[in-house]
Amino acid sequence: TDFGQGAASGKIILMGEHSVVYGKPAIALPFNQAQITSKIYKTDKEITIDCIYHQGELNTAPDNLYGIKQLINIVLIYLKQPFFGIHIKIESNLPSQRGLGSSAAVSIAVVRSLFDAFQVNLTQETLNHFVEIAEQIHHVNPSGLDATTIAFGKAVFYQKDIGKSVIPLRMDAILVVADTGVKGLTKEAVSDVKKLWKSNPNIINPIMDRLEELTNNVKVFLENNEVVRLGLAMTEAHQLLRSIDVSDDKLEELVDVALKSGALGAKLTGGGKGGCMIALATNMEQAILIADSLKQSGAAHTWFYDLKEIIT
Ligand code: MEV
């Protein structure tokens, strides 16, 4: 039996992906429909791990587990435990590389499970600290939006180096979340945007400014239950994101299909270049129709997200 457990949900970015990297605000929601769990078992061997990418010794894990390996190492040092004698089992129904925050979520689940195993109280600050280290290794220069939203587990208005505030969700609307089935390339997308920004600041800066304006507006729309305006802001944000080249054919197709099926707005969510999109529906009946059309157009998976849920 395990002697330590931890879990974490994913996240959905409602507004502000990419612009958040440039110091603009973003709004993200915890995605509780899918979870990652981590369980710790005692052994008398080198550390082993069981996850989709690797089963066996952590030391021989592939490169994409480098961040998690470093994270486990520093957490064990912090907990004054040897790098030995545990087996870590990670399970997930949160698809990875889809802009749903699986890399931050796996880090958070692992940190929680290790602290639980060695019965050390884990504060929000300590959790954030460790997860940001893992995210740095994994993503080079993350804004911290994923780590904050998932560690906190609430809808947040977030700005890099400034902080977060909680946004109460009380809108009469449903988000349809659809996975294109195409692996998202967040790291590439972020570095491509950086190249564009360096070579054409006069074009990119106004786009970032407009994304900032839209995010600030959306905060007010959420507070005032202005569903139609939220939809329009989402679609405009998508067009701006497309103009900085972080969309792709499948995202374009699904955004188009959602709008033609009656969605009030639709956009990519997360890093883009694959990954997921979101569409806004006025009620569940319409959300189901939109989700059906998205699936017919090849969405690998769809979920519903009630914007009225007060998530705690
Ligand atoms: C990734 O979930 C969101 C991006 O804005 C990158 C970041 O915030 O670090 C694309």
State the ipTM, two decimals: 0.96
Q: What is 4-166's CATH topology? A: Ribosomal Protein S5; domain 2 (3.30.230)
Terminal CA-CA length for the chain: 29
Nearest CA to ligand 1 atom 10: 271
Average pLDDT estimate for 75-85: 96
Catalytic residue among 146, 179, 192, 256: 146
Nearest CA to ligand 1 atom 9: 142
Give the burial class of 201: count Cβ atoms within 10 A of its Cβ; 0-12 exposed, 13-18 middle, 19 or more buried. exposed
State whether the beta carbon of 145 lies less than 6 angstroms from ligand 1.
Answer: yes
17 CA closest ligand 1 atom index: 5
Structure confidence at residue 312 as a pLDDT band (50, 70, 90) = very low
Nearest CA to ligand 1 atom 2: 270
State whether the beta carbon of 49 lies less than 6 angstroms from ligand 1.
Answer: no
Which pLDDT score is estimated for 242?
98
Nearest CA to ligand 1 atom 8: 143
How far is the C-alpha of 192 from the C-alpha of 301, rounded, in Å? 27
* Distances in whole angstroms, Cα of residue 54 to Cα of each of 7, 17, 62, 103, 183: 19, 30, 7, 15, 19
Average per-residue pLDDT in the chain? 94
State whether the beta carbon of 271 lies less than 6 angstroms from ligand 1.
Answer: yes
pLDDT of 311 above 50: no
Which pLDDT score is estimated for 81?
96
State whether the beta carbon of 142 lies less than 6 angstroms from ligand 1.
Answer: yes
CATH code of the domain occupying 174-306: 3.30.70.890
The string of pLDDT tens digits covering residues 208-261 is: 999 999 999 999 999 999 999 999 999 999 999 999 999 999 999 999 999 999
From 12, 131, 143, 215, mutation site for ligand 1 pocket: most ligand atoms within 8 A of C-beta: 143
Among candidate residues 294, 10, 52, 45, the one with its CA nearest the CA of residue 180:
294
Identify whether the C-beta of residue 179 lies closer than 8 Å to the C-beta of residue 297: no
18 CA closest ligand 1 atom index: 5
User: Domain spans of the chain?
Assistant: 4-166, 174-306
Q: Is residue 10 within a helix (H) or strand (E), and if so which, with residue range?
A: strand 4-15
User: In this structure, what token pair is assigned to residue 63?
Assistant: 């490169």
Q: How far is the CA of 135 from the centre of ligand 1 (A)?
A: 11
Percent above pLDDT 90 for the chain: 87
Q: How far is the CA of 41 from the centre of ligand 1 (A)?
A: 33
| Biggest CA-to-CA distance, the chain | 59
Tokens 């089963």 -> residue:
55
Which pLDDT score is estimated for 99?
86
Report the interhelical angle of 102-117 vs 124-139 (nearest 10°).
140
Compare 141 and 26 and report the one with higher pLDDT: 26
Q: How far is the CA of 270 from the centre of ligand 1 (A)?
A: 6
Structure confidence at residue 132 as a pLDDT band (50, 70, 90) = confident
pLDDT of 101 above 80: yes
Which pLDDT score is estimated for 133?
87
Which pLDDT score is estimated for 310?
53
254-289 as b/e: b if 16+ CB within 10 A: bbebbbebebbbbbbbbbbbbbbbbbbbbeeebbee
State whether the beta carbon of 135 lies less than 6 angstroms from ligand 1.
Answer: no
The string of pLDDT tens digits covering residues 142-182 is: 899 999 999 999 999 999 999 999 999 999 999 999 999 99
246 CA closest ligand 1 atom index: 10
Residue 2 is a catalytic residue: no
CA within 13 Å, CB half, 92? 24
State whether the beta carbon of 190 lies less than 6 angstroms from ligand 1.
Answer: yes
State whether the beta carbon of 20 lies less than 6 angstroms from ligand 1.
Answer: yes
Helix (H, G, I), strand (E, B) or coil at 94: coil
How far is the C-alpha of 42 from the C-alpha of 36, rounded, in Å? 20
Structure confidence at residue 141 as a pLDDT band (50, 70, 90) = confident
pLDDT of 188 above 80: yes
